[in-house]
């Protein structure tokens, strides 16, 4: 049971961070389907820092530099969506899908190029960061790490920014009725850029949390196992509201954790279900949630619609 709770909180932290990123983007009016690719590049930035820092580097420095690198990588990668969707008014769904494909492929190429220099005969797509990973543990010997309290702080901060600051209220106005927002002097382009870049910061951080949760090395061609898409389901189920997103993340995190530890429960073992069934549970639940709730939830009215200054 303790192990189930540990994994549930870890996976919920990942889903919540990435879903909050998608929430900012969509509240500004831009659909971010590319969260999966952003997570991959954020993980790449953090993993490269962890693997290259010299031995003996303090745990605090490892944590800070890895977080900054992951967030910076996610932000830079999210610029692809911002430029394409905001400046060139490209189809946001197509751009996000392309980012997901490019993210995994691009990260794999970069890692193999780096490993080719180190080992020309046997280049791999993995980065090892066994020693550095220990710096993130909040309690030695457990899966609890420093990202959990950080995720909680970012949850509260997200709620404050969206509902208690002029910046957040203006951003949400751009996602509901950008023409009306522009008529009172709000720069819709800047607000939408801010929303997408914030989603890049949080999505990149979510990618770093994912790779430090339970693996000592990561094959980049495997991506992030669909966590970006699960985060979208969490965001929709949470009705684009931070605290509801947190509750939805715990629900999805529970089913994802169950696929890791189901062998520890006698009543589940007696069902004699294949392990693949438990691995599929989070994705089955996400499909059910989207079918039942996506039609009733009130998404930002102008999300996915390119802003045209000439329309009223």
Establish if 109 belongs to a structural domain: yes
Q: Which of 20-34, 54-68, 131-145 has the lowest mean pLDDT?
A: 131-145
Residues 109, 114, 120, 126, CA torsion sign:
negative
Q: What number is the average pLDDT over the span 27-47?
A: 96
| Alpha-carbon distance values, 111 to 92, 101, 106, 208, 218 (Å) | 28, 16, 9, 16, 11
The pLDDT score that the predictor gives to residue 145 is 78
Residue 105 forms part of a structural domain: yes
Q: Which of 20, 39, 57, 291 is nearest to 162 (CA)?
A: 20
Neighbours of 235 (CB within 10 A): 29
Residue 312 has pLDDT above 80, yes or no: no
With respect to residue 37, please indicate whether it lies within any of the assigned structural domains: yes
Residue 252 resides in a domain: no
Average of per-residue pLDDT across 112-140: 75
Under 8 Å CB-to-CB from 106, ≥6 apart: which residues?
41
Whole-number pLDDT of residue 3? 78
- Residue matched to tokens 């990149």: 204
Mean pLDDT of 63-71: 95
CA–CA separation, 31 and 24 (whole Å): 10
Tokens 């990435």 map to which residue?
Answer: 18
The confidence score (pLDDT) of residue 268 equals 66
Within a 10 A sphere around the Cβ of 292, how many other Cβ atoms? 10
Res 208: pLDDT: 93
Note whether 27 and 171 are within 8 A (CB): yes
Mean predicted confidence (pLDDT) in 213-231:
81
pLDDT band at 265 (very low <50, low <70, confident <90, very high): low
Residue 307, both tokens = 């802003």
pLDDT band for position 130 (cuts 50, 70, 90): low
- DSSP tally for the chain: helices H, then strands E: 13, 2
Say what the pTM is.
0.93
Tell me phi and psi for residue 270, to 5 degrees. Answer: -70, -15
CA distance 158 to 167: 12
The SS3 call for residue 53 is coil
Q: Residue 290 falls within a domain, yes or no? A: no
Least confident of 37-51, 247-261, 263-277: 263-277
Q: Is residue 121 part of a domain?
A: yes
* 94: in domain: yes
The two structure tokens encoding residue 41: 């590049």
Task: Tell me the pLDDT tens digit for each residue of 88-108.
Answer: 999 999 999 999 999 999 999
pLDDT at 213 over 80: no
**Within-domain flag for 300:** no
Strand partners, 219: 126
Describe the crossing of helices 188-213 and 147-164 by its angle, rounded to 10 degrees: 160
Of 51-55, 241-245, 273-277, 292-296, highest mean pLDDT: 241-245
At residue 120, the pLDDT reads 78
The pLDDT confidence band at residue 182, using thresholds 50, 70 and 90, is very high
pLDDT score of 217: 67
- Are residues 6 and 69 in contact, defined by beta-carbon separation less than 8 angstroms? no
What is the rounded CA–CA span in Å between residue 35 and residue 28? 16
Domain range for 199: 2-228
Mean pLDDT across 108-116: 89
pLDDT at 2: 78
How far is C-alpha 286 from the chain's CA centre?
16
pLDDT of residue 142: 64
pLDDT at 223 over 80: yes
> For 54-82, what is the mean pLDDT?
93
pLDDT at 64 over 70: yes
Task: Specify whether the backbone of 137 is left (phi greater than 0), alpha (psi in -120 to 50) or beta.
Answer: beta
Q: What is the largest CA-CA distance in the chain?
A: 64
Number of domains in the chain: 1
CA-nearest of 256, 281, 247 to 20 is: 247
């Amino acid at each position: 049971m303790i192990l189930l709770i540990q994994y549930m909180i870890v996976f919920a932290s990942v889903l919540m961070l990435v879903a909050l990123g998608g929430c900012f983007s969509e509240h500004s009016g831009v659909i971010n389907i590319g969260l999966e690719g952003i997570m991959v590049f954020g993980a790449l930035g953090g993993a490269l820092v962890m693997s290259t820092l010299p031995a003996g580097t303090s745990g605090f420095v490892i944590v800070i530099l890895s977080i900054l690198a992951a967030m910076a990588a996610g932000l830079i990668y999210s610029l692809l969506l911002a430029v394409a969707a905001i400046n060139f008014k490209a189809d946001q769904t197509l751009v996000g899908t392309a980012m997901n494909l490019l993210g995994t492929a691009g990260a794999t190429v970069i890692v193999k190029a780096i490993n080719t220099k180190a080992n020309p005969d046997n280049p791999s797509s993995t980065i090892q960061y066994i020693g550095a990973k220990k710096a993130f543990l909040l309690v030695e010997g457990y899966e609890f790490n420093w990202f959990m309290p950080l995720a909680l702080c970012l949850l509260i901060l997200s709620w404050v920014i969206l509902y208690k600051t002029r910046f957040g209220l203006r951003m949400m106005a751009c996602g509901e009725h950008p023409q009306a927002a522009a008529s009172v002097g709000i720069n819709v382009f800047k607000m939408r850029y801010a929303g997408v870049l914030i989603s890049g910061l949080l999505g990149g951080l979510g990618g770093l949390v994912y790779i430090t949760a339970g693996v000592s090395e990561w094959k980049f061609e495997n991506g992030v196992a669909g966590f970006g898409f699960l985060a979208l389901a969490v965001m929709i189920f949470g009705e684009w509201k931070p605290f509801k997103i947190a509750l939805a993340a715990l629900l999805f995190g529970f089913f994802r954790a169950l696929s890791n530890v189901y062998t520890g429960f006698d009543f589940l073992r007696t069902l004699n279900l294949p392990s693949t069934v438990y691995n599929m549970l989070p994705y089955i639940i996400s499909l059910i949630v989207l079918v039942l709730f996506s039609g009733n939830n009130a998404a930002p009215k102008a999300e996915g619609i390119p802003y045209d200054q000439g329309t009223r």
